[in-house]
């Protein structure tokens, strides 16, 4: 089977984990801060806080900004549910901005008309690894005194106008995920980066039960929270993976170039783009079928051929926990109806890529 995504683990990664298992600290030790410093340095941010998942990082980012019941936040429907559900968990109401047809990203031109007196936050999602037009979004947010959290769970290694995603050049907090299908993995894990000291301290508290440390044994719980801590075992793996990130992104981009070279003239498909302001890190390679009625057939036949394609994503507001009316974001719904994600990951073999393309072309030609 060829999956749509998977981790790459080498002997260096394995040795780094074994070293921690033989050490004094397997959690709450020095590797966590070491990983956080390395990640912040790579992205060009001042602070990083590592979490046990990207979902936890999103929750604590929203909480650090004071998002609460009665507030609303604007985001995209083409995302994993965590982007939205973590705000809903805090009592806030999601407002959905439609997307660009070619990138699947939030259409920033539609953002301002969605802002109300209750809007406190905008959450752009860098879908598939292609950055949103952040400078324009930031200018709108600044005019309306809104917080900005970048959901960059797809986009480690990408850049916007020369600034690495995670630098928080045009946001208050940026969130990453380290799930095995992402650019680097810690097994499960995530992080929130910021340049603001106060937000950094709130993120640390939210990760660890709301605790603020005092002198000696003393501590106080300033607000109730959860145990969102990541282990030293995971961070040792993350540090080892981070050393290979540039190579991983380079390989993903070569895979994307291969798909484009072979499929760009196919009359049945539209392919991902890379806008002039963006350096795409290709977490996903989302193709769109021009005949959406064939999507399920193509999906099933590829899987029957051992190619485990996926679909990203069902519009979030269709899910029962929200159940907003269909038709709310027509471009997003059209994007979803056509999208299929092809396999893309650093260890995919060239012969597997040829097989994917040949099978896809064969199915489309029927």
CB 178 within 8 A of CB 143: no
CB 175 within 8 A of CB 183: no
Residue 338 annotated in active site: no
User: Rounded CA gap, 185 and 238, in Å?
Assistant: 6
Indicate which residue of 120, 182, 202, 338 is catalytic. 182
What region does 327 belong to: left with phi over 0, alpha with psi -120 to 50, or beta? left
User: Rounded CA gap, 191 and 175, in Å?
Assistant: 6
User: Rounded CA gap, 208 and 263, in Å?
Assistant: 48
Q: Token pair of 273, please?
A: 């783009």
CB burial string 62-78: b at 16+ within 10 A, e below: bbbbebeeebbbbbbbb
Q: Token pair of 227, please?
A: 């145990």
Which residues are catalytic, by number? 182
């Amino acid at each position: 089977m060829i999956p749509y995504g998977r981790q790459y683990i080498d002997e260096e990664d394995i040795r780094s984990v074994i070293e921690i298992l033989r050490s004094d600290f397997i959690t709450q030790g020095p590797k966590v801060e070491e990983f956080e410093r390395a990640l912040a340095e790579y992205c060009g941010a001042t602070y990083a806080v590592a979490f046990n998942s990207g979902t936890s990082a999103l929750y604590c980012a929203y909480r650090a900004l004071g998002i609460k019941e009665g507030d609303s936040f604007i985001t995209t429907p083409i995302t994993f549910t965590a982007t939205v559900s973590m705000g809903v968990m805090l009592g806030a109401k999601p407002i959905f901005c439609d997307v660009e047809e070619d990138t699947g990203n939030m259409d920033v031109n539609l953002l301002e008309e969605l802002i109300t007196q209750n809007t406190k936050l905008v959450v752009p999602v860098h879908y598939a690894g292609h950055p949103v037009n952040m400078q324009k979004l930031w200018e709108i947010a600044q005019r309306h005194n809104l917080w900005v959290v970048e959901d960059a769970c797809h986009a480690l290694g990408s850049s916007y106008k020369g600034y690495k995603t995670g630098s928080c050049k045009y946001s208050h907090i940026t969130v990453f995920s380290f799930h095995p299908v992402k650019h680097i993995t810690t097994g499960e894990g995530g992080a929130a980066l910021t340049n603001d000291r106060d937000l950094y301290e709130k993120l640390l508290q939210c990760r660890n039960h709301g605790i603020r440390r005092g002198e000696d044994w003393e501590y106080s719980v300033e607000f109730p929270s959860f145990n969102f801590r990541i282990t030293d075992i995971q961070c040792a793996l993350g540090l080892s993976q981070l050393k290979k990130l540039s190579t991983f992104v380079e390989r993903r981009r070569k895979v994307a170039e291969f798909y484009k070279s072979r499929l760009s003239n196919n009359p049945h498909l539209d392919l991902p783009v890379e806008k002039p302001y963006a350096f795409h890190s290709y977490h996903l390679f989302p193709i769109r079928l021009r005949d959406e009625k064939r999507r399920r057939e193509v999906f099933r036949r590829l899987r029957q051929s051992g190619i485990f394609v996926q679909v990203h994503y069902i519009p979030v507001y269709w899910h029962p926990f929200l159940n907003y009316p269909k038709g709310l974001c027509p471009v997003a719904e059209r994007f979803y109806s056509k999208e299929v994600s092809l396999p893309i990951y650093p260890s995919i073999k060239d012969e597997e890529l040829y097989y994917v393309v040949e099978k896809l072309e064969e199915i489309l030609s029927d």
